[in-house]
Amino acid sequence: MYGPRPAEGKHAEFNANFTDENVSYAIVLRNGIVAITDQPNKGPDIKLTKDDWSKLILGETTFEGLGSGLKAFDQALGRRSVGKCKPWWMALIAPSLVCNRYPEKLKRRRKL
């Protein structure tokens, strides 16, 4: 997450069942904190592969695409939509993956 404000007051939870590893994790977002445990929660059970998870983390797909109740994860991560451009904070990890949609934010970060 790039800042706590987008996550204020947000709550969402789901159980990630990784089909290629035969393992499950409960994932909860609460006020900007993401907790991962092996104890199931009350959220939906989502079946994922490692590739599906990678696409979620890289912003190629949305959490909302897994279920409308998971939109809070996208909002907390500052994701507005899925498309060619990755979120601006991805430039901190891999600048070549990000288009020029967020140049002002990147300039501010580089000065810090």
Residues 55 and 106 in one domain: no
How sure is the predictor about 84, in pLDDT bands with cuts at 50, 70 and 90? very low
pLDDT tens digit sequence for 12-31: 999 999 999 899 999 999 88
Residues 75 and 106 in one domain: no
- More confident position, 106 or 37: 37
pLDDT at 28: 93
pLDDT at 59: 81
Q: What's the total number of domains in the chain? A: 2
How sure is the predictor about 33, in pLDDT bands with cuts at 50, 70 and 90? confident
Residues 39 and 64 in one domain: yes
CATH number of the domain that residue 60 is part of: 3.30.1050.10
Residues 12 and 64 in one domain: yes
Model pTM?
Answer: 0.65
- Using CA atoms, how far residue 103 sits from 68, 81, 88, 95, 107, in Å, is 30, 18, 8, 11, 6
Angle at 91 between CA 27 and CA 85, to 5 degrees: 80
Does residue 67 have a pLDDT over 50? yes
Residues 31 and 16 in one domain: yes
- Per the structure, the complete domain to which residue 18 belongs is given by 5-81
pLDDT tens digit sequence for 89-104: 555 555 555 454 444 5
Does residue 47 have a pLDDT over 60? yes
